[in-house]
Amino acid sequence: MDENKALNGQGVEGTQGDQPNHQTMESLLETESLSVDLPQVGEIRKGMIASISPNQILVSVGAKSEGVIAGRELEQLTAEERAALQVGQEVDAYVVNAEDQNGNVVLSLKRAQEELSWENVEKMIADGTVIDTKIIGFNKGGLIAEIGKLRGFIPSSQISAARRVQTTGDTPEKRWQKMVGQPISVRIIEMDRERRRLILSERLANPETRASMKERVISELEEGNVYSGRVTSLADFGAFVNLNGADGLVHLSEISWEHITHPKEVLEIGQEVQVKVINIDREKKRIGLSMRALMDDPWKSRLEKFSVGQLVEGTITRLTKFGAFARLEGDIEGLIHISELSENRVEHPKEVLKEGEVKTLRVIRIDTDQRRIGLSLRKVDSAAFADKDFKMLTKEYKEQQPEEAPQAPQETETPETPDTPVEATQE
């Protein structure tokens, strides 16, 4: 009997105790699934070549299934590049597709090389690196040089005077053919990753002259001062402007108050511009410049029509765990913090709002410097703003009333008294 009780007791305890163990197992499985580092389209992965066959190359990229290089991706590799690949070799692979019809990750070695080259180019532009390379081709406008796995163009205007002296003939072949294979030192002056455009300059590649000039200019510059300069190169992340012999960077965010995706939208090489020095790193010899610091912030003028306490209409554009964003007009958005959604506790804004709906909101905070507007839904009917609401409604009512046309003065008839002096009518 005691044994049965003990067994029953164990059974009961086991049933009650299984739930925590079951939950623990679920959490472990969930943690394990979250810890699997699945490849994402567009990223570059380090991988190990697992096998090589005439039709495909399998690469282990740390996922549950191996990545595959096949078809067109395989055809892009030259015979020399394929011969250089070995099983067990570590390679960089670009994720083209996270899963094909067979459940494999589709990879590209060529694309990985190109993407890494573009990243390297960005660093070289930022550092003003002089690149020693060779001429691999030409066209009617100039020479073509190799920059990593990319091809850069050197316009004839950017070729050094010493090299141009060597040019003879009235065709590109006669002028440039003999230079193919020659070494050349260049600097990158323009980069457009989207258009796969890389412009180089041999003229600006004299490192000794540039270094001495830059040191002199940096010693003379002062933060906060405004200078005239000329745009020397364009890149995805900004524009370089030459100030008396030294290049400073105008970051993309410092070019204009308006949103732009590339400096080419508002600037071109050779353009003269006014810039403000916003920081100088004398140790790294870097100059930070701004163009927008010399412009009026249009956002401030747009905010003049808003005031704290004002009621406005806003269209809900985004819901986040900390609140909701509402567009008031144009590109002006305000944040409704989750604490301003309701008098009751709200776990997520989706409990109260939906994207796309229009709501009456109260402006509770305006931060001009940070370009932020704080909004409230729960304070729309707040008694604290009753007086302000009354005054605003009164003002709007008066503005909506049509103006009364001025009335002409009425003429009063006076009896004819030709023989009576005016003074006689006065008392």
- The confidence score (pLDDT) of residue 388 equals 65
Q: Reduced to 3 states, what is the DSSP secondary structure of residue 73?
A: helix
Superfamily of segment(s) 128-201? Nucleic acid-binding proteins (2.40.50.140)
CA dist 313 and 137 (Å) reads 61
Asked, colleague to colleague, whether 44-114 and 207-294 share their fold, the answer is: yes
Q: How far is CA 146 from the centre of its chain?
A: 29
* Domain assignments of the chain as residue spans, ordered by start: 44-114, 128-201, 207-294, 299-389
CA distance 280 to 287: 5
CATH architecture of 44-114: Beta Barrel (2.40)
Q: What is the DSSP string of 112-138?
A: HHHHHHHHHHHHHHHHT--EEEEEEEE
Please name the fold of domain 299-389: OB fold (Dihydrolipoamide Acetyltransferase, E2P) (2.40.50)
Q: Which residues pair with 319 in a beta bridge?
A: 324
Q: What does the alpha-carbon distance between residue 142 and residue 201 come to, in Å, rounded to a whole number?
A: 11
**What is residue 399's predicted lDDT score, i.e. its pLDDT?**
61
Q: What is the pLDDT of residue 263?
A: 93
Q: Give burial (CB, 10 Å; 0-12/13-18/19+) of 120.
A: middle
Mean pLDDT of the chain: 79
Contact 347, 330 (CB under 8 A): no
What's at 178, amino acid-wise? Answer: K
Q: Residue 108 has what pLDDT?
A: 86
User: Cα(424)–Cα(202) distance, rounded to whole angstroms?
Assistant: 107
Give me the count of residues in the chain.
Answer: 427
In 3D space, the residue among 219, 5, 7, 239 whose CA is nearest the CA of residue 125 turns out to be 239
The predicted model scores a pTM of 0.46
E strands present in 182-310: 183-192, 197-201, 226-235, 238-243, 246-251, 272-281, 286-290
CA 122 from chain centre, in angstroms, equals 15
What does the pLDDT read at residue 16?
Answer: 44
Among candidates 245, 144, 139, 237, which has minimal Cα distance to 190?
237
Establish how many alpha carbons lie within 13 A of residue 400's alpha carbon, considering only the half-sphere containing its beta carbon.
6
Residues 5-56 pLDDT 10s = 444 444 444 444 444 444 454 454 444 444 456 777 888 888 888 888 888 8
Beta-bridge partner residues of 331:
none
State the pLDDT at residue 117.
87
> Which of these CATH numbers, 1.10.1740.10, 3.30.200.20, 2.40.50.140, 2.40.50.100, describes 207-294?
2.40.50.140
For residue 159, the SS3 value is coil
Counting Cα atoms < 13 Å in the Cβ hemisphere of 260 gives 20
- Could you report the per-residue pLDDT of 331-377, keeping only the tens digit for each? 788 999 999 998 899 999 999 999 999 999 999 988 877 778 999 99
pLDDT in tens, the chain (427 residues): 444 444 444 444 444 444 444 445 445 444 444 445 677 788 888 888 888 888 888 888 875 667 888 888 888 888 888 888 888 889 888 888 877 777 778 888 888 888 888 888 988 888 888 899 999 999 988 999 999 889 999 998 898 877 876 777 778 888 889 899 999 999 998 888 888 889 999 988 865 556 666 777 888 888 999 999 889 889 889 999 988 778 899 999 999 988 889 999 999 988 999 999 999 988 888 899 999 999 887 777 777 788 888 888 999 999 998 999 999 887 788 999 999 998 899 999 999 999 999 999 999 988 877 778 999 998 888 766 666 666 666 665 566 666 655 555 555 454 444 444 434 334 3
